[in-house]
Structure 1
Amino acid sequence: MTHTQDTPVTIYVTYEGAAGARFDRAYYVGHHVPLVMHHWAQYGLVSVAAFFPAVGQAGTLAICECRFRSAASVDAAFGSAEAPFVMADVPNFTDIAPNRVRAIPL
């Protein structure tokens, strides 16, 4: 399959840490995820979903799936005037640095 600028793109944001690492799930789901959608929908963010492991363990503490219309949408969102505001909210729910992985359909 040939990928173009119009190919949908999914960004997975993961938070990796020890089982006792600070990660406020309630804040993340109730405030941060809606904040991301609010600010980046105008740039082509189509959906945002948060996932957590079934049991407390070291490793992946949270995964956020952000689906964008295209690669240009991703670039527009992360390069937007709102991006610093979105990133500044991260310390409100964790001290873990987010990891980002860009995925496209096969």
Structure 2
Amino acid sequence: MVTVSVVYPATERFDHDHYGTVHVPLVGRHWTEHGLNGVTVLKGLPGPDGAPAPYALIALLDFADGESLQAAMAAPGTAEIMADIANFTDAPPTIQVNERVG
């Protein structure tokens, strides 16, 4: 299994409602047929010392394998997914591809 981490830095503008109600369903609609098995969304909260979270949100996208990820990224709907980012934040995400171990 391949998990893609999409990490959005904490900024003044991050619309969690849009992310959950529009963006995640958009991702599912376009990428499920290409091997997306699930999405986990983690909203950043203040730390134990009260310091603000460094990240507004971390999304973990699980794909069957690397070939499925490549197929999803090449799918026609990927352009719509990427264009939607501007609707909920001004900050570009950091994206990392990961392999599950253990």
Does structure 1 residue 15 correspond to structure 2 residue 13?
no
Runs (5+) with no aligned partner, structure 1: 1-7
CA distance in 1 between partners of 2:77 and 2:44 (Å): 30
- Measure how far apart 1:98 and its partner are: 1.1
Name the CA distance, whole Å, in 1 between partners of 2:86 and 2:99.
29
TM-score where L is the length of structure 2: 0.89
1:33·1:49 contact (CA, 8 Å) conserved in 2?
A: no
Aligned equivalents of 1:86, 1:105: Cα separation in 2? 25
Counterpart residue number, 1:43? 34
Q: Per-residue CA shift, 1:65-97, capped at 9, x if unaligned?
A: 100001001011111111101101001101110
Displacement of 1:58: 5.1
Is residue 89 from structure 1 mapped to residue 80 from structure 2 by the alignment? no
Per the TM alignment, residue 17 of structure 1 is displaced from its structure 2 partner at its CA by 3.2
Contact 1:48 1:66 in 2 (8 A): yes
Deviation at 1:50, TM superposition (A): 1.0
Runs of 4+ that moved beyond 6 A: none
Q: Which runs of no fewer than 5 residues in structure 2 stay unpaired?
A: none
Question: 1:63 maps to what in 2?
Answer: 58
Work out the CA distance in 2 between the residues paired with 1:58 and 1:50: 15
In structure 1, the residue matched to 2:44 is 53
| Contact 1:14–1:62 (CA under 8 A) maintained in structure 2 | yes
